[in-house]
Amino acid sequence: MSPPSFRSVNQNLGARPRLGPVPAELILPWGSIGVVTLLICQLLALSWVWTLVFILSGMAVWWILTGNTPWRFLAKFQVVPRWAKGYVLFVPFSLHSPQRSRKRRR
């Protein structure tokens, strides 16, 4: 008997549709971002350079926020909590009312 031969498998089966490096689900939002930005920039009479800058920045922000792993970029801006040990007895907030903390005058 001969050893089993391997079948060639299409690498794109089960993969997400793409248009080059751009995922296909971004084409419609990018198109709408481009059209809305173009209309606003034409309304404000901005140059084509500024229009292109605003369109590209809008597309980049959309890609960062809705991409596969937005946490890789957005996690850079989260403040890391600063932990400290504390040895204070827990007292419920309901016991700290202003009437109880003041001394009563008679």
pLDDT in tens, 44-79: 999 999 999 999 999 989 888 887 777 777 777 777
Q: Can you read off the two tokens belonging to residue 99?
A: 């009437």
Close Cβ partners of 33 (under 8 Å, ≥ 6 residues apart):
55, 58, 59, 62
Question: pTM of the entire structure?
Answer: 0.54
Q: What does the H/E/C string look like for the chain?
A: CCCCCCCCCCCCCCCCCEECCEEHHHHHHHHHHHHHHHHHHHHCCCCHHHHHHHHHHHHHHHHHHHCCCCHHHHHHHCCCCCCCCCCCCCCCHHHCCHHHHCCCCC
pLDDT at residue number 106:
57
Mean pLDDT score, 40-46:
94
Domain ranges of the chain: 18-75
Give the per-residue pLDDT at 66.
83
